[in-house]
């Protein structure tokens, strides 16, 4: 009887270990995939700034969903911090390119861009996720810095000029 109990204890311990390592492996693979995508698009000279912005926003909303699903706050902070350390240079490069591109636009082009952005698949996710994500991970400097840039220069771009910012809140 004691042998059966010990076997069950070993099986349960091995299962817990295996499940926790599967989660860590999945998160490591997700981080690697984010890094590969962001590095590739940041250095791509053929992609337009709007295409780069679309890929960045899709990637960022994906990372935010992943970060929100992590129940353990310590592991969540580690995941988001690692994402930030791996991708800050690529994100900064993309945002600087998008900002330069936007400065060269006329008023009509800005309104058209704002309307197109509102129709993107990531727009709704970004509007809902950014405040929740910032509340959960506000201690991380990368999150504060990046979400401010995304909110002000990308997501809020032109919305206050055409009166949509108040409607979307």
> Cα separation of 76 and 67, whole Å?
6
- Print the domain residue range for 100: 2-168
Q: Are 140 and 74 in contact (CB under 8 A)?
A: no
pLDDT at 153: 57
Total residues found in the chain within this entry: 169
Comparing CA positions, the residue from 62, 69, 84 lying closest to residue 141 is 84
pTM of the model: 0.72
Neighbours of 90 (CB within 10 A): 20
pLDDT at 16: 59
When divided into structural domains, the chain yields a total of 1
Question: Which residues of the chain are under the pLDDT cut of 50?
Answer: 158-169
Query: Per residue in 125-135, pLDDT tens?
Result: 888 888 888 88
Q: Are 66 and 30 in contact (CB under 8 A)?
A: yes
> Cα separation of 139 and 167, whole Å?
29
Residues 6+ apart with CB under 8 A from 126: 57, 60, 61, 150, 155
pLDDT at 151: 65
Query: Per residue in 55-83, pLDDT tens?
Result: 999 999 999 999 889 888 888 888 988 99
In Å, how far from its chain's centre is CA 142? 11
């Amino acid at each position: 009887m004691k042998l059966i109990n010990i076997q069950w204890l070993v099986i349960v311990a091995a299962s817990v270990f295996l499940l926790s390592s599967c989660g860590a492996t999945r998160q490591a693979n997700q981080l690697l995939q984010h890094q590969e995508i962001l590095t590739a698009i940041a250095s791509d000279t053929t992609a337009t700034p709007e295409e780069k912005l679309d890929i960045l926003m899709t990637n960022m909303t994906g990372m935010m969903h992943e970060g929100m699903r992590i129940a353990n706050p310590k592991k969540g902070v580690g995941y988001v911090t690692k994402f930030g350390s791996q991708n800050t240079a690529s994100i900064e490069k993309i945002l600087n390119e998008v900002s330069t591109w936007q400065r060269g636009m006329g008023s009509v082009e800005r309104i058209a861009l704002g309307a197109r952005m509102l129709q993107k698949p990531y727009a709704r996710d970004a509007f809902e996720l950014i405040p929740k994500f910032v509340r959960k991970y506000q201690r991380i400097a990368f999150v504060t810095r990046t979400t401010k840039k995304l909110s002000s220069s990308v997501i809020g771009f032109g919305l206050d000029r055409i009166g949509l910012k108040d409607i979307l809140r």
